[in-house]
Amino acid sequence: WRKSCEEIMENTAEDTKGTDVAVKGEAAIKPEFLTTKEKFHEFVDSEWQGSKSEKASQNDTDEEATETCVDEPEAKKLKLDPEEKQKAWKSDNKRLRGQNKSRPHTKPTTYDEKRLQCPFGDKCHFHHDVAEYMASKPSDIGENCYLYDTFGKCAYGLSCRFAKAHTTPDFKTMEKADLVKAFEGRNLVKNNLSKDLQNRLRKRSVAFKKTRWVYKINASVKIKGTSSDKPPPVKTVGPLTDADVIKLRPCEKKQVDFQDKLYLAPLTTCGNLPFRRICKRFGADITCGEMAMCTNLLQGQQSEWALLKRHESEDLFGVQVEGCFPDTMTRCAELINNNADVDFVDINSGCPIDLVYKKGGGCGLMTRTRKFEQIVKGMNYVLDVPLTVKIRTGVQEKCSIAHKLIPEMKNWGLHGRSREQRYTKLADWDYINTCSKLASPIPLFGNGDILSYEDAMKARETGVSGIMIARGALLKPWIFTEIKESRHWDISSSERLDILKDFTNFGLEHWGSDTRGVEKTRTFMLEWLSFMCRYIPVGLLERVPQKINERPPYYIGRNYLESLMISQNVGDWIRISEMVLGPVPKNFSFLPKHKANAYK
């Protein structure tokens, strides 16, 4: 592959002589690494597929793999004049969106062709013979089981895809007594939903005392009109004391030091617990769970409560909730306050997607000021931890309203974009600077387009209390190390593969090491790779640092693995996942959630 790489580079150098002028919107790559789309894929595919004879024998599998792939994003379109823009709009008759809607959702259980045990006896269609099950089970991925080596035992037993590492010839599961004892009684992941709480939520038998008190006050004032007509705030026997009715003052709440911290933004889909563990290793100070719908939490949905889980390494952790009604948001806050271990609760009033915005949630709250105020006051009343709010500059692109809301709020996490901009425009840090002055001394975080320590330094000059990083962490999670050490890290492809291996181990620990867990880990890894492939290695850039909205031209890396990691083809992402998680199942398919609309 080295010889072919050198030949391609020489041909590319000849093709690009005299073309030193960079295309607008493209990242500046050193000329010796530039190539064309056809040559890039020829190079990547030649190493992976091997000789032509091997290709012929793999025609069937190749056809299945190509069916799971989608075309690469089109080249960046230059900015059009208003008249041309109107013509293009009419011809396309479609508005570009940031998500692949109606994509296929394959349940992880479909990858389990046969299971081992069940309570249905002779009526059961699954295996009951262990030897038969082990013979028909998909082959092991590797020789060592991360769960067995780390914790001394694997809870997935014979169904583990690394079962040979902890299974005797007579199919008994082994344990390492010293490691098991070391982890005995240790709770690595908190905020699990108990069956008792889930049943009580489904039966609507959970008492929300503080929430009732909040709305009893509001109702009595609204109906009666005078404070003298208020009913007793609580049912008492004997005299009513201040301790019965007075809530915690803000100064008595749990205090969190937000000053000068690096905050990993809550990221839907990609901001899962294994990914947050990766970012904590690289220096993230604050982590936050993925956006959770308050109605789903109140209904006791297991999948929604999974978004609140907290690993022991997350020393400063919050959860983000979304909703559009004061009563449900207040109940949700009280539920989290009583049943989860968190350092703060964040209100999502910055989500721009239509599903949330059109029902009045997300950044739709910014235009419903009265409801917004009721939500903030109600949640702040029932919480014993700080309440933060994430907003955008506004809803419309040229109509910023954040500066009107900030004086009324506490501990804001300000997003430097309006809803309409999505990710197609640069963040407005000048406006964030204005808002940070208005918010002082209240902590305010700035967020938007940070991909290097230089971007972070400029952001700090605006006077924000801390920096929130979202897409930058997805492109390169080591950005937290770069910022803290004030340097550009020319990370090698092997180091990046090691990061993916760590993510794999954390994923197997979190989702399981059986077939279902392996494929769930793979799916989330592929979602992450759809962002990570946009990273351009520092050593290939003519101008450092890389800007987040610059699209790279086609180029070849310094070795084959680096070239594979920069490919924006789904098939190549699947190849990378197979390096750490073994071959994909026959019925596997994947379509990324995001369309990389930032380049349009």
- The catalytic residues are 351
Instruction: Report the distance separating Cα 525 and Cα 509, nearest Å.
Output: 14
Question: What is d(CA 391, CA 415) in angstroms, rounded to the nearest whole number?
Answer: 6
Q: Which two tokens stand for residue 354?
A: 């239509």
Tell how strand 317-322 and strand 344-349 pair up: parallel
Assess contact for 9 and 32: CB atoms under 8 A: yes
Amino acid at 99: Q
The per-residue DSSP string of 250-293 comes to: GGGSPP---TT-EEE---TTT--HHHHHHHHHTT-SBEEPPPEE
Q: DSSP letters of 345-406?
A: EEEEE----HHHHTTT-GGGGGG-HHHHHHHHHHHHHH-SS-EEEEE-SBSSTT-B-HHHHG
In the DSSP assignment, the letter for residue 105 is: -
Q: What is the dihedral of CA 481, 483, 484, 487, to 10 degrees?
A: 80
Place of tokens 């080591």: 478
The C-alpha atoms of residue 331 and residue 307 are separated, in whole angstroms, by 18
Comparing CA positions, the residue from 366, 365, 386, 380 lying closest to residue 330 is: 380
Q: Which helix (H) or strand (E) holds 344?
A: strand 344-349
Instruction: Estimate to the nearest angstrom the gap between the alpha carbon of 210 and the chain centroid.
Output: 32
- Is 315 strand, coil or helix? coil
- Number of Cα atoms under 13 Å in the Cβ half of residue 182: 10
User: What is the spatial distance between Cα 349 and Cα 52, in angstroms, rounded to a whole number?
Assistant: 55
Buried-exposed string 493-522: b where 16+ CB fall within 10 A, e elsewhere: beebbebbebbbbbbbbbbbbbbbbbbbbb
Give the integer Cα–Cα distance in Å for 423 and 356: 17
Kind and range of the H or E element at 310? strand 310-311
Cα separation, 538 vs 525, whole angstroms:
23
Measured in Å, how far apart are the chain's first and last C-alpha atoms? 33
Q: How far apart are CA 29 and CA 16, in angstroms?
A: 12
The backbone torsions φ and ψ at residue 320, rounded to the nearest 5 degrees and listed phi first, read -115, 130
Question: 340, 348, 345: which is closest to 381 by C-alpha?
Answer: 345
Token digits for 527?
A: 């979602």
